[in-house]
Structure 1
Amino acid sequence: MVIAGELDPDLAAFLSKAGPAASLSGETSVEAFRARFARRPAGTPETVASVHDVAASGVNLRVYDPQPANPGKGALLFFHGGGFIIGDLEQQDGFCRLLANRVGIVVVSVDYRLAPEHPYPAAIEDGWSALGWLSDNARQLGVDPARLAVGGTSAGASLAAALCLVSRDRGGPSIAFQLLPYPATDLRPGAWPETSDTLNPVLPRETAEWFASLYLSGGDPAQAYASPLVAADLSRLPPAFILTAEFDPLRDEAEAYGARLRSAGVEVSVKRYTGMTHMFLSFAAAVPAAARAIDDIVNALRAAIVQPAAAPSDARAQPR
């Protein structure tokens, strides 16, 4: 990774003020990480017409539907981030509400099992169960089964990418689109480059490696579902939108994954956000460039899985 330029001024100011609250570094145990990120967002969540929790084969899901009376909507199966070891349905509740309202789709958030208690491939199998549930219940949810997308952030994007491979390999439900903001696509030792702590204050390489070791728990990091970048065959996968951040140790592997998808004949758009760090979408309330990236996500989802006649709300919220 070549470090050049500087952090976006708005992001730098925000990170300086937020301190440890905006960083995935600084803890030495799973329990400490979970305690630190267990806080619930303040304020009133954005209203969505219908929000309810369900269980699918033991996996808890939260379903957001902005237009319960309208059939034929698209749907996004969403996986939260958190290094495979932290996070739950509350972590990005606000982001799921935003996407449901602004895009005009059903969003199904997956409360997958976390490592190290449930190492690879438990989270992927939970995603497989959730995808099957969404496909089986699409018509009941007012969803067009041909308009199913998967996505997530960071570790959640890694799970979404892996799920596309799993569904292709197992002959599962058709996936129309994959949304991959700063995904981890290569968990092999040494995959992440050295980066400056000044320019990469959110996700140091050592923290990323620790997350991966807990998730794999001795499993082979060169397996395709663990590290999609090294999969032998990336053909016949859904179109993808991959977002990367300039100062993120996951940047190069995510962009390499986009290049490999393109070489395999998959339609893919890769966009690097200059001056940004890992997890930057979560800072959109204070960082205009991050808010613009959310606009890009909304537009990509609309283009991929929304019928032309749809009229989504312009209500806004921030991911958390």
Structure 2
Amino acid sequence: MQISAISNQIRSLGRELGPSMMEGLLTIFDNEQKLLVARQPASATNVAYGDHERHVLDIYGADSRRSDASKPVFVFVHGGGFLKGDKGDDERWYNACVGRMAAELGWLGVVINYRLAPDFTWPSGGDDVSRVVAWLNDNIHEYGGDANNIILCGTSAGACHVATYLQLNPGKTDIKAAVLLSGLYGVTPLDERDTLYYGDASMYQSRMPLPALIATSIPLFIACTELDPERFQQECIGLLQARLQVNHTLDRSMILSGHNHYSIAGHLGTSDRRLSSEIRDFVNEVISA
């Protein structure tokens, strides 16, 4: 199916987040994503990176025939409004597709679970990303991954957790770059539905990573979609503008036409390669710098 036809189907789902939008998205991409599942089976599943039951990750693209640890490691942190979501599996391709996309590009794909609100609040997501990075530094060579070339990618709540990782680890160079897809960074006010993770409005701004994101020297790729809710678009554009004012250089970025808040990650690995090609070029640029 041509990209324009797919975009029209996605536009027909509207902009309101919820089960109806997700069900429509899964239908649109199901056939293509099932082909990707067949091409890129998981190399390892439910590998523990910490003590909690949700401290597990899956790995895609490992090659047992290789003894050199040379593949860039592309880590995906799923969304879910801080309250739900998981890394997916062979039966549920959503989120897992990003790890499979990485494997298709010749990288090592890592897709993680993390602890959820309301039981675990800020900064638990960023702490869990820190745990993942530490685990990768110690262990990913066993799967053919290069711990010197770790790239973090998160969507929605996952982008918030990647941003919080940078906030909690200023000045560290344990990762090579970060890809932030439709996240919240501190540009807009607190939304009521996010209080279960961030706490009330009196704590919100002090917990947001915007100052750390403006200051970081870690290369960022920042993206949102044409059909994202306005708040996420304001966050994306606001972060880009804030960094431009300080750094006088526009970060690699994209506003992806014909996609929504769920499909920005859920279409990766399909024949619509506009975003994946930009991510590929960004990663290749930073690892060769």
**TM-score bin, normalised by smaller chain:** 0.7 to 0.9
Q: Which residue of 2 aligns with 1:202?
A: none
Q: Which residue of 2 aligns with 1:294?
A: 276
Q: Which residue of 2 aligns with 1:205?
A: none
Match of 1:234 among 211, 214, 238: 214
- Regions of 4+ moved over 6 Å: none
Equivalent position amino acid for 1:217 in 2: G
Equivalent position amino acid for 2:215 in 1: S
Match of 2:223 among 231, 236, 243: 243
Equivalent position amino acid for 2:182 in 1: Y
Alpha-carbon offset, residue 260 of structure 1: 2.6
The reply on whether 1:92 has 2:95 as its aligned counterpart is: yes
The reply on whether 1:180 has 2:213 as its aligned counterpart is: no
The reply on whether 1:279 has 2:262 as its aligned counterpart is: yes
Give the conservation status (yes or no) of the 8 Å contact 1:258–1:269. Answer: no
Question: Structure 1 residues 239, 282: closer, same or farther in 2, change over 3 A?
Answer: closer
Give the conservation status (yes or no) of the 8 Å contact 2:87–2:95. Answer: yes
Distance 1:210 1:136 in 2: 39
Question: Structure 1 residues 142, 167: closer, same or farther in 2, change over 3 A?
Answer: farther
RMSD of aligned alpha carbons:
3.6
Match of 1:214 among 179, 193, 196: 196
Give the conservation status (yes or no) of the 8 Å contact 1:79–1:156. Answer: yes
Distance 1:218 1:294 in 2: 36
Equivalent position amino acid for 2:129 in 1: G
Equivalent position amino acid for 2:170 in 1: R
The reply on whether 1:60 has 2:42 as its aligned counterpart is: no
Alpha-carbon offset, residue 165 of structure 1: 2.4
Q: What secondary structure is seen at the aligned counterpart in 2 of 1:61?
A: strand
Alpha-carbon offset, residue 48 of structure 1: 4.0
Equivalent position amino acid for 2:225 in 1: A
How does 1:58-207 map onto structure 2 within 5 Å?
Answer: 58=51, 59-68=55-64, 69=66, 70-90=68-88, 91-102=94-105, 104-168=106-170, 171=172, 173-186=173-186, 189=189
Distance 1:140 1:109 in 2: 17
Alpha-carbon offset, residue 251 of structure 1: 1.0
Alpha-carbon offset, residue 232 of structure 1: 6.2
Q: Identity of paired residues, percent? A: 23
Q: TM-score if structure 2 supplies the norm length?
A: 0.76
Distance 1:86 1:278 in 2: 15
Q: TM-score if structure 1 supplies the norm length?
A: 0.69
Q: What secondary structure is seen at the aligned counterpart in 2 of 1:222?
A: helix
Q: Which residue of 1 aligns with 2:18?
A: 25
Q: Deviations for 1:112-139, whole angstroms, at most 9, x for unmatched residues?
A: 0111222222122111111111112243
Distance 2:18 2:103 in 1: 31
Alpha-carbon offset, residue 303 of structure 1: 2.8
Relative to its length, the structure with more helix (as a share) is 2
Q: Which residue of 2 aligns with 1:206?
A: none
Q: Deviations for 1:239-289, whole angstroms, at most 9, x for unmatched residues?
A: 01111223422112212212333444487212222454322325639x97x
Q: Which residue of 2 aligns with 1:315?
A: none
The aligned length equals 265
Q: Which residue of 2 aligns with 1:261?
A: 243
Q: What secondary structure is seen at the aligned counterpart in 2 of 1:277?
A: coil
Q: What secondary structure is seen at the aligned counterpart in 2 of 1:271?
A: strand
Question: Structure 1 residues 252, 57: closer, same or farther in 2, change over 3 A?
Answer: same
Question: Structure 1 residues 264, 145: closer, same or farther in 2, change over 3 A?
Answer: farther
Match of 1:303 among 280, 285, 288: 285
Give the conservation status (yes or no) of the 8 Å contact 1:178–1:238. Answer: yes
Give the conservation status (yes or no) of the 8 Å contact 1:152–1:179. Answer: yes
Which stretch shows the higher mean deviation, 113-122 or 133-142? 133-142
Question: Structure 1 residues 116, 130: closer, same or farther in 2, change over 3 A?
Answer: same
Question: Structure 1 residues 113, 49: closer, same or farther in 2, change over 3 A?
Answer: closer
Q: What secondary structure is seen at the aligned counterpart in 2 of 1:281?
A: helix
Distance 1:188 1:11 in 2: 28
Distance 1:275 1:49 in 2: 29
